[in-house]
Structure 1
Amino acid sequence: MNQNTNKTVLILGANSDVAKQCIKQYIEKGFSVIAASRNTDSLENFVMENNLNSKVSILSFDVVDFDSHQEFYDELPVKPHIVVYAAGFLADNEKALRDFKGTHQMMMVNYMGAVSILNIIAMDESNKNLERIIGLSSLSGVRGRKSNFVYGSTKAAFTTYLAGLRQELASKNIKVNALVIGYINTKINAGLELNKSLMMEPDYVAKFIVNAGNSFTIVPNFKWKIIYLILKVLPESLVAKLP
């Protein structure tokens, strides 16, 4: 019998391309999945097309409706062993600088909504199931760069939150991971001029999520690991010359 047969994964923002691949891969490892998203129609179609109905529960969840988060969590059919926060929103940097709506939406989806629901989950003393929380962050949050610093700032905040949450939950033996991700061939990046040689597929990234280990920072793909390390140590004068 698969040791994960009686374990449940809660995926928040489950309609993303990476999250959908996570659903498939978690099920292959024997988990049951609660897939939560505003767009439940798309999720239902995905589950039906892939014959996953028996292993997936689909729930409506609005990341930016903070007042609904406690009720959403309280009404879960089972408290999760693993939680994946995969929700994300990207607005063009130039537009975000001139129109606060895009900036505000990125703040709410990428950071505020994450903190709201993950605080509720992490502080539930009654849930003895919880083993791991995984957040999907971005290389954009490693250093501020003029092409995407508004989006990057929300991801930097999320990574910092996850780092502190990891320390908070360490005594309970609950692991927290931050996936620091580069370019992915997904709908959120459709139409952007990105380096094709650095592009990763959703199923490739999902493998790193589903097989997350003890390390806090997980950077899929060796090319992106090199970029990550360079960004961490690059002098500010050189960072300023980056696009």
Structure 2
Amino acid sequence: MNNNCNKTVLILGANSDVAKQCILQYLEKGFSIIASSRNLDSLESFVRENEIDSSKITLNYFDAADFNSHQKFYDELPINPNIVIYAAGFLVENQKALYDFTGAKQMMEVNYMGAVSILNIISMDESNKNLKRIIGLSSLSGVRGRKSNFIYGSTKSAFTQYLAGLRQELSSRNIIVNVLVSGYINTKINEGLELNKSLIMEPDYVAKHIVNAGNSFSIVPNFKWKIIYYILKILPESLVSKLP
């Protein structure tokens, strides 16, 4: 008997390429899914294309930047989730964000503020005895500030620090909080960017690390990125300033 057959995963920002792979992999493990996104048409197409059993997945509208809607969204969930994944993300190029605050603000709202808003609501609901894990999708861009992407990186850094504190807050309730710190992924958010092809990971590979998350706080897929992650953490500022 599959022990996951009565367990539910809530995926916030479920239209991302990594999130869609998480849906497929969690379904394989017997979980039910609540997939939430602003783009429900895309999710409906994804469900049809992959012939997903409609009894195993629920599609809900969720706007990370519409903070006032978050409590109502949570209150109307069909079931209290066992696992919550925050996969919503937004990116504009650093130079654009420097000169146009609209893009910078949207990154802040989606990547950080929206996450704090909805995850506070979910995690502070002590009546939900089902909740066992929260996973946030962050980025290596948030490890150190670099001139090529420091505005986007700052939102991911803030999100990572929030999750670190949330992990401590929820430890007494035996709820695990993880952060995925990823490098380059072959996803639509990175389309058009000049990236080192030898370092690009596929969404299903990254999703596997999320679905099989353990007790450690940080999840860094791929040994190359693990090396880069640890180098970035200890690199002197004088050398960081020379990075692109």
Q: State the TM-score, normalized to the length of structure 2.
A: 0.99
Encode CA deviations 1:5-49: one digit per residue, 9 max, x unaligned: 000000000000000000000000000000000000000000111
Opposite residue 196 of structure 1, the aligned amino acid is K
Q: Report the 3-state secondary structure (helix = DSSP H, G, I; strand = E; otherwise coil) of the residue aligned with 1:15.
A: coil
1:1-243 paired onto structure 2 within 5 Å: 1-52=1-52, 53-243=54-244
CA distance in 1, matches of 2:30, 2:172: 27
- List structure 1 segments (4+ residues) > 4 angstroms apart after TM superposition: none
CA distance in 1, matches of 2:152, 2:66: 20
Encode CA deviations 1:89-135: one digit per residue, 9 max, x unaligned: 00100000000001000000000000000000000011000000000
CA distance in 2, matches of 1:55, 1:205: 22
CA distance in 2, matches of 1:108, 1:95: 16
Comparing 46-55 with 88-97, greater Cα deviation is found at: 46-55
Percent identical? 79
CA distance in 2, matches of 1:230, 1:58: 40
CA distance in 2, matches of 1:104, 1:180: 22
Cα distance, 1:54 vs. partner?
A: 2.6
Structure 2: unaligned runs, 5 residues or longer = none
Aligned residue pair count: 243
CA distance in 2, matches of 1:48, 1:165: 36
Q: Report the 3-state secondary structure (helix = DSSP H, G, I; strand = E; otherwise coil) of the residue aligned with 1:72.
A: helix
Q: Report the 3-state secondary structure (helix = DSSP H, G, I; strand = E; otherwise coil) of the residue aligned with 1:193.
A: coil
Opposite residue 60 of structure 2, the aligned amino acid is L
Q: Report the 3-state secondary structure (helix = DSSP H, G, I; strand = E; otherwise coil) of the residue aligned with 1:117.
A: helix
Opposite residue 38 of structure 1, the aligned amino acid is R
Encode CA deviations 1:120-161: one digit per residue, 9 max, x unaligned: 000001100000000000000000000000000000000000
Q: State the TM-score, normalized to the length of structure 1.
A: 1.00
Encode CA deviations 1:154-200: one digit per residue, 9 max, x unaligned: 00000000000000000000000000000000000011000000000
CA distance in 2, matches of 1:16, 1:201: 13
CA distance in 1, matches of 2:60, 2:219: 28
